[in-house]
Amino acid sequence: MIKLLEIPAVHLEQRIKKELEENPVLEEGGEEADFNESEEAKDEQTADQLEEFSLEDYMQDDEIPSYRLNAQNYSMDDKREEIPFSLGSTFREQLKSQLGLRKLSDEQEVLAEYILGNIDDDGYLRRELEAIADDLAFSTGLEASYESLHEVLMIIQEFDPAGVGARSLQECLLLQIKRKDLEQADIALAHSILKNHFEEFTNKHYDKIIQRLGITEEELKHALEEILRLNPKPGGAMGDSQNKSFHHIVPDFILEENEGRLQPA
């Protein structure tokens, strides 16, 4: 809900209209919609949510909401100043800028830049490290071992956005969940599911997960909610573009000063 409220009004309206058009079950309600539900209805809704979850829907290219692709690393008390116009920079430029903050040897810098060049727009490294080692030997004459490439990749995987440099969806989600507070029960359970029961998770074998972990359906629901907050395509969090461009921010509302008092425009 908080993430939805942070979306600019124009984008939120477009998102709601799109959902209403595509989902025949939804209908536009009045201002005094009844949000009270019985406990029985909530239990049924929980079961339905577990059954309806689809990894394909989660990963679908053109349906990932923009709010899921944005890193939310601020607390409600943080002061955030928005600049009406901002000059965009590409995804890889931002990764390279983080590389400059690390103390690396000359060889590690070459390896890191080569790995960054193989990271795709989604933020994944989809080439095997052995293949990258062969490319380096052929193009630059540098003989790099798997271990040295892996060591540099581990450094890159510490960059923002969380999940960048992952070689699979499982690794991408694990990189993100590890940055959260694993002392919290829901997050620890989500980590365990992603690490040890990823196949059952992707195939929606929730009964097996419940049985093997000895948890309740409600506990599984909360863990899945934590997983669904993760970003399956971390490259989208930085808004890569081929050309730098100005982005105009549309205000939700405008206030004007009138005789010392603020009034809506």
DSSP string covering 224-265: HHHHHTS-S-GGGGGT--SS--EEEPPPS--EEEETTEEEE-
**pLDDT band at 242, cuts 50/70/90?**
very low
Residue 59 maps to a domain: no
Q: Cα–Cα distance between 200 and 121 in angstroms, integer?
A: 28
- Domain extent at residue 134: 91-156
- The arithmetic mean of pLDDT across residues 10-27, rounded, is 75
DSSP string covering 59-114: H-GGG--TTTSS-----TTS--PPPSEEE---HHHHHHHHHTTS---HHHHHHHHH
CA 263 to chain centre: 38
Q: Cα–Cα distance between 230 and 224 in angstroms, integer?
A: 10
Q: What is the residue type of 215?
A: I
pLDDT tens, residue by residue, 76-126: 444 444 434 334 458 888 899 999 889 999 999 999 999 999 999 999 999
Strand partners, 87: 246
pLDDT tens, residue by residue, 157-213: 999 999 999 999 999 999 999 999 999 999 999 999 999 999 999 999 999 999 999
> Is the pTM of the predicted complex or chain greater than 0.85?
no
Residue 209 maps to a domain: no
CA 171 to chain centre: 13
Of 46-50, 140-144, 230-234, the least confident:
46-50
Residue 178 maps to a domain: no
Q: Cα–Cα distance between 154 and 116 in angstroms, integer?
A: 12
The single residue listed with the structure tokens 């959902």 is 19
| Ramachandran angles phi, psi of 212, nearest 5° | -75, -30
DSSP string covering 174-186: HHHHTTS-TTSHH
**pLDDT band at 7, cuts 50/70/90?**
low
Residue 28 maps to a domain: no
Counted domains in the chain: 1
Residue 197 maps to a domain: no
3-state secondary structure 125-158: ECCCHHHHHHHHHHHCCCCCCHHHHHHHHHHHCC
Residue 3 maps to a domain: no
Residue 226 maps to a domain: no
Q: Residues 207, 177, 173, CA angle at the centre, nearest 5°?
A: 75
Residue 20 maps to a domain: no
Q: Cα–Cα distance between 125 and 117 in angstroms, integer?
A: 9
**Which residue from 67, 70, 89, 58 is spatially nearest to 169, judged by alpha carbons?**
58
pLDDT of residue 77: 47
